[in-house]
Structure formats: structure tokens, C-alpha cells
């Protein structure tokens, strides 16, 4: 279960993000200034001065997307605002896929001022948020209307929309607010990329690379969709900037599909879902590439395929989360929260792309907000996933250590068994002292106390050996009632001292237990050395028993 602290940290992160992405009501960047309506007319060779005199010819009721693509005239509703040197005005409007644009500013005295774009389109006018801001020429008479001549309008989201009259201060404040939003996301993304690349180098989990790819694509999308690219590369055509928008968000969608699948790769998912994830991971960037390449030919068809592929991406996220929920994934709740905003806002954006709802600045910029939210919360999910993997690894290592210890330790006494003892003993080139210890008359102990009593005697005897022998000594139960001690000759164990300690051990029913010890000293570099040293110590043990037991005997290796 997730701790209460983790939930509190998530709430704090959400609050911090919302505080940065939701500006106050009087300073919302995308909706700065006063709204101005617009009406449309298909270009049939009319003249600008004629249309300025007859605004009633324009259609103000038909939704713009029903006009199709081509050349159009657009005229604003009545403005009646003055642009002065003290308070210059600007006209803000949405950045759309279109060719050249000509603006005609009509003043109350009948004068007209004109601005015409070059091959770059509205790139020179772009502000943060990818909103065009055309300065209204300063004149004493009030501005009455603005007439637009739009060439080669693709009309994917509209022809000319989002008109607002803003002051210079309102425009600057809008840019400042959006700069904070984009810088906030970019800073988080760069930090998370560096952090997860470092983790990937250390841990090698594929979902970390997919997460970095997602963040990198979102960084590219932030650069292009924010309009900052137009400031960094002022010679780029606005339509080319929009092409890059499609490419980067398509890459982000494909990376999101890969990240979702690799994040839950240890969960058993249906084969169809795995195949659908792979298809979506390829379809979204390919459809975005199709928009970029076919934009000048079949843009509306390519854009429809792009919107449908994105809908397909969302369609695989939901069953993936459902499958993880059914398998009780520990980190599902974080991942589900992370994807809630992208799923809902992407559904809204797709609805806008299919003309089910109208254009809106925040809908147009919802992708960076929702994916920024997803990236931030997914970073917590990634951290939690890594913690889970670390815990699983630590648990596996603990089990391995326990299993190895069980394989090396005698279960009754807790001492090394014969195999582990030999594994650690053989290979010592320095001179070693070997002591073989055998409990005297142990058969009688079993007959007197029973096998359970005999086991208790063995446990107490082993505990006494551990308490008496110094740290460098290897202690093992060789089998039955026979024990072995091995120590460097420089740290010799005195057999008589050991026997005296063993005699003081209180046994069950105050039974008197004695032991015999045989010792020998020599090298243990090879198996042959071990056999010779063991034979020598065993001969010494035999002599101790033959001499009456409860005593120790020492033999020289050459004598044995």
C-alpha cells in the first residue's frame, strides 16, 4: 500500500503545478484584452475598400469550418477603440494554417492602414502561446474595424478566429505569464531527463528511456507550440512551425504508448493489447509525419487520420490501466492519476479537431498543460516503480543470502556444515591448526535422553564452542557428534583450555558431558594437504580416546 506521506507529496506536487498553470482571472495570458467578433466571406475577387463600406455582406452565423479551404475575407465587429502613443493597441488572433495574410485597419475618419505578410505568414507577429499580435497603427481617430484577407486557408480549426483588442501592457503581461508556464515545464522536463538518464545508466530499465523520449518530444513541442521557435528562428514560415508541432506531439504520443507498455511490462497483458500498443506507438508519429509532408496537398485528410490515431492511443491507455488494476499493480494509482488529465483534455482537443466544439485558446494549449501534468506525476510513478523494483531486488538478494546460508549451515547447531567448512578451509597457504573434537560416549547420551535430548546436547555443545573460540576460528559440525575448529597457527587454540570450558557447560538433567580432542598443524593449500592434516588430527583424536577420553592429544604432521 502507498503511504500517507506519498499521497501528501502527490497533492503538494499537483497544487504546485496548478498554481503555475492556472493564472488569475484578470491576467489569463491566452484571453488578454477585449474579445472582438468576426464574420466571413468567400473571396470572389472583391476589393478591400468595397468590403469595408459594406460589412453586411459578411456571414456572421455559419460556423467557420463549414466554409472549407481556400481564400477568404474576414471582418471584425465594431471595435471603436483609440490607439495612441501613450496607450498603443494591438489585435490578437489565433495562429492557423494559412498562406499570406493582409490586414486593413479602418479608422473613424475613413482612413485605411494596411499590413501584409511575406512568405513566412504571421511569424513576425507571433507571441508566446502561438498567438499573433498585430500592432494597431497609432492615429487619433478611433479604430472602427479590421479587415483580413486570408490566402490558402486550410480551415482545420478555423479561418480567422480568437480576435481580441489588447493594450501593450496586457500583451506583455500575457507573454510573461506564458513564459513562466513554459519555463516551468521545460525546467522540470530537463531535470527529469537528466535524472532518468542517470538512473537508466545505473539500472538499465527500458521504461526510463521511453520516459526520456516522451519528455524530449514534449520539450520540442513546447518550443514549437509556444511560439518561441518564431523568436529563435524568425525566418521560419508559420506553417512549417505548425508542421513541427505535429511531428513533436506525434513523437510524444508514440513515446507515451511505449512508456505505458514498458512501464507495465511485468504485468500479463492480452496479446491484442500488446499488439495495439505497438501499432499506436507507430501510427501516431507516422500520422503526424503525414500531416507534415502532405500538408500542402491533403491536409484535412491527414489531420483527420492524425486525430483518429491519437484517439486510438487513448483507447489503449484505458485497457492497459484496467488490466493493471485487475492485477493489483502497486503503482497503478499514480499512473492512473497521471493519465487522467491527458485523456480528458485530449478527448476535448479531438472533439475540437472534429469540430464538435469551437476553438478556444486553452483547448489549443491544453496538450502542453495536460502532458506536463502527466510528465510530472509520472515522474512520481517512475520513482515509485524504481522503489518497488529495488525492494524486489533487495528481497531477492535476502532470499539468496538466506538460501546460501541454509546450504552452508548445519540446521541443528547453526555451525558450518562439512561442505562449507572445506570450501573456506582449503586454499589457505599459511600454517593452520586443526582441532577435531568428538563428544565422548554420545551413544549413551541418546539412549539416556532420547534423540531430542541428544539434539539439545549438540546445540549446547556447539554454543560452547562458539563462545570459547576466538573470532578467526572456523567452527563446523563435521557429522554426528564430531566437530572441527580451524585457526591460523599464529592464533592457536589451547586444547586444555577448550576442554575446561566444555566441562563447565550445563547440560540437560545435569548430565556430565566430556569430549576428546585431536590436533595437528600444517598447510591447507590443496585437497591433498587437507586429507593429510585431517588424517593427522584424526590419529591424535584416536590416541586421546584410547588414553581414556576427556583429554587432548597433539601429533606432528610428519609423524602421522
Give tens-digit pLDDT for 258-276: 887 777 665 556 777 777 7
* Residue 14: per-residue pLDDT: 40
- Helix ranges (H only) for 327-365 are 332-353, 361-364
What pTM was estimated for this model as a whole?
A: 0.62
- Identify the bridge partners of residue 135 per DSSP, sorted by sequence position: 90
* Superfamily of structural domain 418-556: Reverse transcriptase/Diguanylate cyclase domain (3.30.70.270)
Of 440 and 335, the one with more pLDDT? 440
Total length of the chain: 560
* Residue 139: per-residue pLDDT: 93
Domain boundaries, the chain: 34-170, 205-393, 418-556
Helix, strand or coil for residue 324? helix
Q: Are 201 and 103 in contact (CB under 8 A)?
A: no
Name the nearest CA neighbour of 442 among 397, 482, 387, 490.
482
Q: What Å distances lie between residue 109 and 47, 141, 145, CA to CA?
A: 19, 6, 12
CATH of domain 34-170: 2.60.40.2380
Decide if pLDDT at 76 tops 80.
Answer: yes
Give tens-digit pLDDT for 97-140: 899 999 999 999 999 999 999 999 999 999 988 899 999 999 99
* Residue 442: per-residue pLDDT: 92
Of 383 and 417, the one with more pLDDT? 417
Q: Are 239 and 122 in contact (CB under 8 A)?
A: no
Name the nearest CA neighbour of 144 among 89, 70, 212, 68.
89
CA within 13 Å, CB half, 68? 4
Amino acid at each position: 500500500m502507498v503511504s500517507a506521506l506519498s499521497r501528501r507529496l502527490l497533492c503538494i506536487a499537483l497544487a504546485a503545478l496548478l498554481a503555475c498553470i492556472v493564472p488569475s482571472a484578470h491576467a489569463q495570458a491566452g484571453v488578454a484584452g477585449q474579445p472582438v467578433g468576426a464574420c466571413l466571406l468567400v473571396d470572389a475577387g472583391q476589393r478591400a475598400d468595397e468590403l469595408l463600406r459594406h460589412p453586411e455582406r459578411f456571414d456572421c452565423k455559419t460556423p467557420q469550418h463549414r466554409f472549407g479551404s481556400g481564400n477568404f475575407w474576414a471582418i471584425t465587429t465594431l471595435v471603436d477603440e483609440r490607439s495612441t502613443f501613450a496607450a498603443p493597441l494591438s489585435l490578437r488572433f489565433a495562429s492557423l494554417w494559412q498562406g499570406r495574410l493582409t490586414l486593413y485597419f479602418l479608422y473613424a475618419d475613413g482612413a485605411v492602414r494596411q499590413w501584409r505578410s511575406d512568405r513566412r505568414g504571421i511569424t513576425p507577429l507571433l507571441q508566446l502561446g502561438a498567438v499573433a499580435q498585430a500592432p494597431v497603427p497609432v492615429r487619433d481617430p478611433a479604430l472602427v474595424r479590421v479587415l483580413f484577407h486570408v490566402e490558402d486557408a486550410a480551415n482545420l480549426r478555423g479561418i480567422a478566429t480568437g480576435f481580441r483588442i489588447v493594450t501593450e501592457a496586457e500583451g506583455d503581461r500575457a507573454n510573461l505569464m506564458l513564459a513562466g508556464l513554459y519555463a516551468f515545464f521545460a525546467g522540470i522536463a530537463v531535470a527529469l531527463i537528466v535524472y532518468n538518464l542517470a538512473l537508466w545508466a545505473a539500472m538499465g530499465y527500458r521504461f526510463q528511456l521511453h520516459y526520456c523520449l516522451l519528455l524530449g518530444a514534449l520539450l520540442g513541442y513546447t518550443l514549437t507550440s509556444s511560439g518561441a521557435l518564431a523568436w529563435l528562428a524568425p525566418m521560419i514560415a508559420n506553417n512549417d512551425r505548425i508542421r513541427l508541432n505535429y511531428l513533436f506531439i506525434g513523437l510524444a504520443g508514440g513515446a507515451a504508448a511505449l512508456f505505458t507498455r514498458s512501464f507495465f511490462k511485468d504485468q500479463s497483458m492480452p496479446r491484442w493489447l500488446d499488439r495495439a500498443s505497438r501499432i499506436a506507438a507507430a501510427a501516431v508519429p507516422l500520422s503526424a509525419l503525414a500531416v507534415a509532408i502532405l500538408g500542402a496537398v491533403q491536409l484535412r485528410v491527414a489531420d483527420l487520420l492524425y486525430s483518429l490515431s491519437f484517439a486510438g492511443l487513448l483507447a489503449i491507455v484505458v485497457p492497459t490501466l484496467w488490466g493493471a488494476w485487475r492485477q493489483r499493480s502497486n503503482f497503478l494509482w499514480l499512473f492512473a492519476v497521471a493519465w487522467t488529465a491527458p485523456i480528458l483534455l485530449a478527448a476535448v482537443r479531438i472533439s475540437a479537431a472534429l469540430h464538435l466544439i469551437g476553438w478556444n485558446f486553452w483547448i489549443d494549449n491544453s496538450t502542453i498543460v495536460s502532458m506536463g501534468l502527466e510528465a510530472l506525476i509520472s515522474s512520481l510513478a517512475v520513482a515509485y516503480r524504481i522503489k518497488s523494483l529495488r525492494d524486489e531486488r533487495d528481497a531477492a538478494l535476502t532470499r539468496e543470502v538466506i538460501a546460501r546460508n541454509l546450504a552452508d549451515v548445519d540446521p541443528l547447531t547453526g555451525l558450518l556444515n562439512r561442505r562449507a567448512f572445506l570450501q573456506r578451509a582449503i586454499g589457505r597457504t599459511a600454517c593452520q591448526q586443526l582441532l577435531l573434537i568428538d563428544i565422548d560416549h554420545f551413544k549413551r547420551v541418546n539412549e539416556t535422553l532420547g534423540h531430542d535430548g541428544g539434539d539439545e546436547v549438540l546445540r549446547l555443545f556447539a554454543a560452547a564452542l562458539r563462545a570459547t573460540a576466538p573470532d578467526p576460528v572456523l567452527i563446523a559440525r563435521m557429522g554426528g557428534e564430531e566437530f572441527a575448529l580451524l585457526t591460523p597457527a599464529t592464533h592457536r587454540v589451547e586444547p586444555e583450555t577448550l576442554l575446561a570450558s566444555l566441562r563447565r557447560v550445563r547440560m540437560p538433567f545435569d548430565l556430565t558431558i566430556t569430549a576428546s580432542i585431536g590436533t595437528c598443524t600444517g598447510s591447507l593449500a590443496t585437497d591433498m594437504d587437507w586429507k593429510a592434516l585431517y588424517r593427522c588430527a584424526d590419529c591424535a583424536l584416536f590416541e586421546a580416546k584410547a588414553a581414556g577420553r576427556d583429554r587432548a592429544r597433539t601429533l606432528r604432521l610428519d609423524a602421522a
